[in-house]
Amino acid sequence: MTNTSTAGKLLALALLATPLASWAADKLVMAVGGMEKQIYLPAKLAEQLGFFKEQDLDVELINTRAGVEAENELIAGEVQAVVGFYDHTIDIQSKGKSIISIVQLSRAPGEVELVATKHAKTLLSPADFKGRTLGITGIGSSTDFLTQALAAKAGLKAGDYSTLGVGAGNTFIAALKQGKIDAGMTTEPTISQLLSTGEAKILVDLRSVESTQAALGGPYPAASLYVNAAWLAKNRPQAQKLVNAMVKTLRWMAAHSAAEIAEKMPKEYLVGNRELYVQGLAEGKSQFTLDGRMPVNGPETVLKVMSSFSKNVIGKPIDLSRTYTTELVETALKGLK
């Protein structure tokens, strides 16, 4: 019979002989509604800074054309987390399902309604959307929601204008240049690219808390990290690790300049012009939260805005307390002190 001492030595030897690769980190797949967009850069930045690995997480980032596609993958169970707009949590609850924001990445949409320069003298405000074709990333996306919100606030109805899903980046630029859209909702670095060539002008700016308040009537928490509520209930430890990494990333961003942040991003994200990328990030950096907390009155504003146009939401008893939680963020912040 092997005595206790011998058994202990054998166990120790077995552990030492075990390949490190077998001690696998928690594997998670995260969909991002456009990784090249500056509004969602905290996801890629967390990876670049090594904060996921620091939490013993093996996170695979998957790029999607629009936030609505990422949401669909989450509902289908193909991914465990999404970096997309908070407003999807309200929209999906109106359809009888439940997803929940666990880290709030931004306090403003970071989007801009750009108008083609050739239409700039006649398309002066959302009231002039009538009869126009407006670019959005995709039907049911947050750019779709925001476009409808601006139109509704200007007194227009859905049938007064048309929308066209043109994605972001090069596909958005091509649609504007080719005249397929008269104006459209997009983000950095696309904004700076079109402004620098003189092919577009800003119609509505939603990159700062102040300009967003003026346009939408209050703070509009946008980019967030959200998960399926059922997944969160069963995978709290993994969710906490994910939140720890994202909160640390936000804190890192707050302590560094736009140029320093750009230095950490993959070169292809700079779309060939680092100066423009840094300029756009500097102008929109205030959109990001400092710590991942949900802005005060933010959910209420988003619900009010969505209730102004969305047939899914109007008249539905939306429980905002089920659309986000701050518990994981508070735990993460305590660990950073």
- Got the DSSP string for 93-135? HTTT--EEEEEE-BSS--EEEEEEGGGTTT--SGGGGTT-EEE
In a domain, 7, yes or no: no
In a domain, 185, yes or no: yes
Q: What is the pLDDT of residues 235-268, one digit of tens each?
A: 999 999 999 999 999 999 999 999 999 999 999 9
Instruction: Name the pLDDT band for 25 (thresholds 50, 70, 90).
Output: low
User: Mean pLDDT throughout 46-62?
Assistant: 96
Whichever domain contains 298, its CATH number is 3.40.190.10
Written as six digits, the tokens of 184 are: 């459209």
pLDDT of residue 76: 82
In a domain, 48, yes or no: yes
Q: Are residues 50 and 148 in the same domain?
A: no
How many domains does the chain contain in total? 2
- The pLDDT > 70 percentage for the chain reads 91
Instruction: Name the pLDDT band for 104 (thresholds 50, 70, 90).
Output: very high
d(C-alpha 27, C-alpha 216), whole Å: 39
User: Mean pLDDT throughout 172-192?
Assistant: 96
| Domain-terminating residue out of 181, 206, 231 | 206
Q: Are residues 53 and 119 in the same domain?
A: no
Q: Are residues 226 and 327 in the same domain?
A: yes
Backbone phi and psi for residue 107, each to the nearest 5 degrees, phi listed first? -105, -5
pLDDT of residue 138: 87
pTM for the model: 0.87
Domain span at residue 181 reads 111-206
Tell me if 75 sits within 8 A of 97, measured CB to CB. Answer: yes
| Domain-terminating residue out of 206, 233, 256 | 206
Q: Are residues 152 and 247 in the same domain?
A: no
How many contiguous H segments (helices) and E segments (strands) does the chain have?
15, 10
Q: Does the bond joining 126 to the residue before it have cis omega, within 30 degrees of 0?
A: no
Q: Is 10 a residue whose pLDDT tops 70?
A: no
pLDDT of residue 67: 64
pLDDT of residue 1: 41
Q: What is the pLDDT of residues 120-146, one digit of tens each?
A: 999 999 999 999 999 999 888 889 999
Q: Are residues 162 and 241 in the same domain?
A: no
Q: Is 16 a residue whose pLDDT tops 70?
A: no
Q: What is the pLDDT of residues 64-83, one digit of tens each?
A: 876 677 788 888 888 999 99
The helix (run of H) or strand (run of E) holding residue 209 is helix 209-216
User: Mean pLDDT throughout 47-53?
Assistant: 97
Q: Are residues 243 and 303 in the same domain?
A: yes
Q: Are residues 99 and 247 in the same domain?
A: yes
3-class SS of residue 225: strand
pLDDT of residue 212: 94
Q: Are residues 94 and 150 in the same domain?
A: no
